[in-house]
Amino acid sequence: MFARGLLRSATLARTIISHQSKIGINSSSSSVIKNHKFIQTIGLRGFQQSSINNHGHLHKPKPGEELHITFITKDGQQHTYEVAEGDNILDIAQAHNLDMEGACGGSCACSTCHVIVDPEFYDEIPEPDDDENDMLDLAFGLTETSRLGCQVHMTKELDGIRVALPAMTRNLQSKDFN
Ligand code: FES
């Protein structure tokens, strides 16, 4: 498992560098340029932004401490929300009625909260543990920057993060093995 983690990290590093190089991003680029290039790269269309609300399980961000997350849905639409530190991506998505099943309720026992993280932000997220890696291995469309939304909590470092929802998710059940 440790060796696989090292391999995953090395491959990820190459992927990020390659991706950034392809889309013309370097460490000195402004965030505006980074956003623009990421959007161009994955071919996005619309853009929506919500005001601060207190949804479901989410915490209300303190004034001046709002963090931002943008979801890119399967139809290419963007949805940006102001959220509080500590909220996880699954809760944020579900509170805004985005298409993220979260079949196990956030207990790291499925892959239906799979998201693809913008490489610009991937390294700001703590490494996945063994349980998350095991579940990610079952996810449809696994990428080098895939994570489980329920395991990623918003931090100041993730302010402005962009995540894409994969075209499909898989929730394996015992009958799937018959
Ligand atoms: S909701 Fe099941 S692993 Fe995230």
Question: For position 148, which CATH number holds?
Answer: 3.10.20.30
Pocket of ligand 1 (CB under 6 A): 90, 102-104, 106, 108-110, 112-113, 135, 148, 150
pLDDT of 167 reads 84
Torsion of CA 174, 166, 79, 14, to 10 degrees: 130
Q: Which domain range does residue 49 map to?
A: 2-177
- Ligand 1 atom with minimal separation from the 101 CA: 1
For residue 103, the model assigns a pLDDT of 95
Which pTM was predicted? 0.69
Q: Summarize pLDDT for 47-66 with one digit per residue, the tens.
A: 555 544 445 578 899 999 99
From 107, 114, 165, 172, mutation site for ligand 1 pocket: most ligand atoms within 8 A of C-beta? 107
Ligand 1 mean position to 117 CA, how many Å? Answer: 16
For residue 18, what pLDDT is reported? 42
In this prediction, residue 175 carries a pLDDT of: 52
Residues written for the chain: 178
Q: Ligand 1, from 57, 88, 90, 170: best to mutate by most atoms within 8 Å of Cβ?
A: 90
Between the CA of 144 and the centroid of ligand 1 the distance, in Å, is 18
Domain count, the chain: 1
- Give the chain's residues under pLDDT 70: 1-56, 170-178
CA angle 90, 104, 112 (to 5 degrees): 60
